[in-house]
């Protein structure tokens, strides 16, 4: 039996279920577009919640609350300090209306810019592999994009730590509370961190698979799928930054 006959027999031994890479790629791209569409709906829900809470400004709590300033505010203290001197103190100072301001727009845009730069590295990496057929350049650029994404994660965690807290007493309990603005920003930044962590995981996977030869000039389809999602995350970061740095205070 000839080699060609063996090859023909093997191709049909499993029922002929092998599909060309191009067919698989089309299906995978449709899947990632559906995933991005679902993620866009989640982003829209977060944006709606942010705008709704700002619009109704229930009890004036969008950026203010009755209590004592937390450690992020001027003259503020920690929960332990207030617990000892206010909640359990003999002569505590009366609570006042604490008004907070928006988070730093510069820091917000810095995190967004870093995210966009990481997307630029990944896009360049995918192009280097798909168009220039340069696998070593792909590995290097994918690694750089991943590192930059982790820098964006650190910036986002720093943003979270700056959200103002207010020591608030309710009946027999005392907590460090957040204004409606603070709570909204916590959810938005938290969602960004989840996305950035996912990008870091995907970028690390691309880098390691490329170094092992699993991704190469013939098998570059996965890099395009990751690039599509990465660019979407960067676009959503720009959109949320534009919203939260321009529509925040109530005049």
Let me know if 48 is exposed, middle or buried by CB neighbors in 10 A (0-12, 13-18, 19+): exposed
pLDDT one-digit tens code per residue, 174-193? 899 999 999 999 999 999 99
Per-residue pLDDT at 20 exceeds 80: no
CA Rg, the chain, in Å? Answer: 25
Q: Tell me if the domain spanning 42-66+102-165+180-246 has CATH number 1.10.340.30.
A: no
Strand-pairing partners, residue 168, are 175
Q: What ranges do the domains of the chain cover?
A: 42-66+102-165+180-246
Q: 9-38: b or e for each residue (b if 16 or more CB lie within 10 Å)? A: eeeeeeeeeeeeeeeebeebeeebeeebee
21/147 Cα distance (integer angstroms): 30
Per-residue pLDDT at 60 exceeds 90: no
**Predicted local confidence at residue 6, as pLDDT:** 42
**Predicted local confidence at residue 1, as pLDDT:** 39
Q: At what angle do helices 21-56 and 221-246 cross, to 10 degrees?
A: 10
Q: Please give the average per-residue pLDDT across 214-235, as a whole number.
A: 93
Look up the pTM and report it: 0.87
**Predicted local confidence at residue 164, as pLDDT:** 94
């Amino acid at each position: 039996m000839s080699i060609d006959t063996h090859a023909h027999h093997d191709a049909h031994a499993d029922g002929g279920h092998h599909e060309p890479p191009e067919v698989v790629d089309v299906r995978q791209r449709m899947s990632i577009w559906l995933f991005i569409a679902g993620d866009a709906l989640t982003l829209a829900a977060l944006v709606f919640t942010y705008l709704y809470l700002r619009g109704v400004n229930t009890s004036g709590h969008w950026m203010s609350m009755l209590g004592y300033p937390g450690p992020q505010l001027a003259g503020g203290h920690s929960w332990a300090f207030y617990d000892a001197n206010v909640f359990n103190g003999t002569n505590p100072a009366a609570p006042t209306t604490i008004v907070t301001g928006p988070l730093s727009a510069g820091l917000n845009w810095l995190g967004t810019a870093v995210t966009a730069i990481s997307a630029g590295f990944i896009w360049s990496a995918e192009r280097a592999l798909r168009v220039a057929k340069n696998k070593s350049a792909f590995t290097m650029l994918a690694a750089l994009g991943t590192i930059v994404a982790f820098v964006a994660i650190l910036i986002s965690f720093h943003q979270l730590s700056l959200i103002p807290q207010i020591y608030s007493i309710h009946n027999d309990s005392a907590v460090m509370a957040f204004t409606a603005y603070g709570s909204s920003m916590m959810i938005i930044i938290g969602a960004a961190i989840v996305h950035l962590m996912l990008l870091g995981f995907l970028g690390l996977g691309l880098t390691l698979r490329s170094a092992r030869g699993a991704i190469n000039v013939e098998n570059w389809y996965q890099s395009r799928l990751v690039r599509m999602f990465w660019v979407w995350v960067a676009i959503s970061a720009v959109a949320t930054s534009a919203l939260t740095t321009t529509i925040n205070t109530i005049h």
